[in-house]
Amino acid sequence: KVWKHGPNNAVPDIRNYSKSKPTIAQMTQIDVDNYQLELDLTQGQTLTLGGGDAFTPAWINPDFFEAASATSVKLVPVAGKYRITANLATKVVDALVLKADGSGLATLGDDGHGAVYFIGYGIGSPAAADQPGWTTEKGVCVPESAPGIYKMTAQAGLEGSTTLGQRFRVSGWSGKFFKNRGWDGLGTFSLAPGTEAFLSIAGDGNIEIASGVTLDEGATYCLTLDVTAGNDKPVLSMVKK
């Protein structure tokens, strides 16, 4: 339980604590269950979610947030504009990276900064069952955790798993990271030393689970995309935590 919610306020809000005084911004209701708020944030900035009629999140995307206390979280990725979302039915708190001017979703720039998106099979969010397949507009957004570094931490689950946080399928991967929720691709992926124990790159360039390998169901893995050498030289690494 990371965030507590006041019992007298049915609309979630974000409490954006600074060194001076907190600012409280109410989230905008998108439909019956979904709320969102767009904020300019800095890496490590502390946020607290209020309202929501005692809504306690069942899952918070760890690529974007880490627990700072019993009632607050810190932003994991680099400074930027983010769309924070809360679903009161599923109790999922998530986020997307936006362009600096808020005009749409961030893309991977030529300088290696922005956001990347996994499209294909094997990775879904908030659960493996949510894998996008080849539907580009459902691409899984991965934020920039450090300059040119994009990191996703998840548990492994069976195909079709609806368990929140089990975002990596134990097998059956076939997909790529793209610069946007479209077909703007990167160069040929290479694997960092040791990653061949988990992944392989198919002849068509897709990322797959290595032959004969099955991820351990329930175990946590960290998948990292490194474009510090350029978008045309992307390097993948994967470790079991």
| pTM attached to this predicted model | 0.92
pLDDT band at 234 (very low <50, low <70, confident <90, very high): very high
C-alpha closest to that of 69 among 121, 1, 119: 1
Phi and psi at 195, nearest 5°, equal -75, -20
Q: What is the pLDDT of residues 134-158, one digit of tens each?
A: 999 999 999 999 999 999 999 999 9
| Arithmetic mean of pLDDT, 185-210 | 98
Q: What is the pLDDT of residues 77-114, one digit of tens each?
A: 999 999 999 998 898 999 999 999 999 999 999 999 99
pLDDT of residue 5: 42
pLDDT of residue 141: 98
